[in-house]
Amino acid sequence: MIIVTGGAGFIGSAVVAALNAKGVKDILIVDVLGRDEKWKNLRNLAYTDYLEAGNFLDIITAGKFFLPVDAVFHLGACSSTTEPDASYLVTNNFEYSKSVASFAMDKKARFIYASSAATYGDGSKGFCDDEAMLPQLQPMNMYGFSKQMFDLWSQNNGMAKKIVGLKYFNVYGPNEYHKGDMRSFILKGFMQIQQTGRVKLFKSYNPQYKDGCQMRDFVYVKDAVDMTLFFLENKKANGVFNVGTGRARTWLDLANALFAAMNMQPNIVFEDMPTVLRDKYQYFTQAEIGKIRGAGYKKEITSLEDAVRDYVQNYLLVDKYLSA
């Protein structure tokens, strides 16, 4: 059995779809379905069972999970970079992760978990996924810090060389539809263009970057999932790894790719960035991917233009979800 926490969520459901495509169906999905439309991500997926996250935690902490487990993909977490409740983030992202990791170790199961590029903070210390750099990182928001807490805990407890932590950069693609404010710009921009014919980008408040020239490492969910499953198949590769393209692109590049995918001329306006974000905004991110390449991941990563075209034309325009 493979367990996927966050398996109804964005990356988690994409992992399940990819596992299904490989013929794997003995999957336990763990999540919190809540009141949004996350449940729709499950409709095209094959899995053995589903448990709410609280029930799963009760079972594993009581030592009552008796089925054999081959691997645990721990992808469930609060992913809101603006969540103000630090105690909630510690409980949900840090304490829960410790319990799931300990359970996986007891089961001698492969443990692959989601860290985040948010742990790199403003990028002043670079984007190197060398574990020796972990204590030096300074996240800019509590979400990033909650992920950093677990990265350090696993390192300090001798787990880091036995498990895999994945620092996902700006992931976008199908099955993110339920994420509200945390949806990618591509989805938000697609909806703006459909409604108004134009798209809005934040102005820059850093003199080093012109409006729209802030840069991020945007990675398509299909590539992110392929990198994730690489570690299921390559059990000798352990530690922390970046999941990105290795090539930063501007928000203008992204907006232009979106208009091109919709067969429209660009119509871009710039708006003020909310004050609450200005001191926490990352103006540049770019994954260093030499480590994952060195571990044996050789596949070509989809270009921004091709990925946006696939997302828009094969999913957004036809209201489609991922499936096997």
Contact (CB, 8 A) for 137 and 121: yes
Provide the Cα torsion 215, 255, 281, 120; round to 10°.
-50
Residue given tokens 């996240």 in the structure block? 139
Q: How far is 198 from 150, CA to CA, in rounded Å?
A: 41
SS3 label, residue 307: helix
Smallest CA-to-CA distance from 101 within 65, 66, 71 is with: 71
Q: How far is 116 from 119, CA to CA, in rounded Å?
A: 6
The maximal CA–CA distance of the chain, rounded, in angstroms, is 59
Contact (CB, 8 A) for 165 and 73: no
Quick one: CA dihedral 151, 155, 157, 163, positive or negative? Answer: positive
Q: How far is 197 from 189, CA to CA, in rounded Å?
A: 10
Residue given tokens 């742990």 in the structure block? 119
Active centre residues (catalytic) = 143, 179
Copy the structure tokens of residue 227.
């990198």
Q: How far is 73 from 7, CA to CA, in rounded Å?
A: 9
Contact (CB, 8 A) for 26 and 1: yes
Give the other-Cβ count within 10 Å of 197's Cβ: 10
Q: How far is 255 from 158, CA to CA, in rounded Å?
A: 43
